[in-house]
Amino acid sequence: MKPNKSELYSYLLAATSPSAVGLGIAVSGALVRYPVFSGQAIRYAIGAVMLGVLGRKSLHTVFSLSRREVFKLLLLSATGLAGFSVCSIEALRSSSPAAVGVIIGCLPIVLALVVPILNWRRPKPRTFIAAAIVSVGAAVVNGAGHSSFHGAMWALGALVGDACFSIIGVSLIEKLGARALSFWATVLATVGLLAVGAAVGGSTAFRTPTLNESEALLYSGVAISFYAVGVWYVVLKRISVERAGLLTGLIPVSALIGQAILGIGVVNLREVIGVVIVTLGISAGIIAGDSSEVAPKAKRGNSF
């Protein structure tokens, strides 16, 4: 089933979210030595402030949540935001970005399998095959790299967190709306990270960032915590999680572009081949998508 113009726009919008995340990988190395909990709290605080200003008229919707939905929101902030960020940074301490990227790059496969099962549907073979192609392409772009056992475990934790970000989030979008969901998730992540950082690190959990660290925190706060988070939840109101998940294969592609722009990497033939494979997988998944993969019904006037 070929997408119409509206769906194509949604896919293009969706592509900007993982692309922003991928470009952030080029600067994330500057945060490896910064206290992880306070550093991630800062980036989410920046995003929360911006999301709060943008969506201030819809933030009251959180008071309509049931206890179960409040628990899901807390779980989302703990796993999909705070957990993902902490696990990613910790994985990079003992493993190369390439090795971490290969593991997290399996996200399209995870979403293609888990989301249908949670919704009492059979996974669609065409979507799964497309997801596998995207993940293979992402692995080719990343290369082999080197990893330790601990690094691999942290990377698996990041993969689980990234999956929870979409799977739990999509169940709350209709009730909260993209603006309010993005805001409250980042607020809760900020508070949780600050609390854990103070409990674990005490006075050493906070220090003044260097110039490079400040730049990395600012980019992460604006481009990822604000833009990528907010846009992704807008997208999940329009297209299914399985098909949107294919676009996460753009993370290593945009990371490659970012490294080339910053002059910290040289594009080689293997990486070009990987980019082609990712592109083919995404294209196949979008064109051959199934009509039973349905995005949650959006409410009029409740867009991001």
pLDDT of 301 reads: 41
239 SS3 class = coil
> Between vectors from CA 13 to CA 304 and to CA 115, what angle results, nearest 5°?
85
pLDDT of 170 reads: 92
* pTM recorded for the entire structure: 0.86
Q: At which residue do the structure tokens 């915590």 appear?
A: 225
Let me know: does 127 contact 1? Beta carbons within 8 Å: no
CA-CA distance, 155 to 153, in Å (whole number)? 5
Does residue 294 belong to any structural domain of this protein? no
Neighbours of 264 (CB within 10 A): 11
pLDDT of 26 reads: 65
Tokens matching residue 48:
């929360």
Does residue 192 belong to any structural domain of this protein? yes
pLDDT of 76 reads: 96
Does residue 150 belong to any structural domain of this protein? yes
Tokens matching residue 271:
């990486």
Note the helical H segments in 143-240. 149-170, 173-176, 178-201, 211-219, 229-235
Let me know: does 137 contact 275? Beta carbons within 8 Å: yes
Q: At which residue do the structure tokens 């990528």 appear?
A: 228
Residues 6+ apart with CB under 8 A from 67: none
The DSSP annotation for 121-137 comes to -PPPHHHHHHHHHHHHH
Q: At which residue do the structure tokens 């929101």 appear?
A: 73
Angle between helices 84-94 and 97-104 (to 10 degrees): 140
Does residue 300 belong to any structural domain of this protein? no
Report CA torsion sign: 101, 218, 172, 246.
negative
CA-CA distance, 173 to 298, in Å (whole number)? 8
Tell me how long the chain is: 304
pLDDT of 284 reads: 86
Let me know: does 190 contact 41? Beta carbons within 8 Å: yes
Does residue 292 belong to any structural domain of this protein? no
Does residue 258 belong to any structural domain of this protein? yes
Per-residue pLDDT of the chain (304 residues), as tens digits, is 566 677 788 888 989 998 888 877 667 767 878 888 999 999 999 999 999 998 888 888 899 999 999 999 999 999 999 999 889 888 878 777 777 778 888 899 999 999 999 988 888 888 899 999 999 988 888 776 667 888 889 989 999 999 999 999 999 998 999 999 999 999 999 999 999 988 887 777 788 899 989 988 999 999 999 999 999 999 998 888 988 899 988 888 887 777 677 666 667 888 889 889 999 999 888 886 554 455 555 444 444 4
Residue whose C-alpha is closest to residue 229's, from 14, 40, 10, 9: 14
Q: Which domain holds residue 173?
A: 5-287
Does residue 43 belong to any structural domain of this protein? yes
Does residue 299 belong to any structural domain of this protein? no
Tokens matching residue 282:
């995404």
Residue whose C-alpha is closest to residue 154's, from 225, 220, 84: 84
pLDDT of 296 reads: 54
DSSP code, position 296: P
Instruction: Write the single-letter amino acid at 143.
Output: G
Please give the sequence-ordered ranges of beta strands (E in DSSP) within 170-215, or none if there are none: none
Let me know: does 227 contact 179? Beta carbons within 8 Å: no
CA-CA distance, 90 to 29, in Å (whole number)? 11
Instruction: State the total domains in the chain.
Output: 1
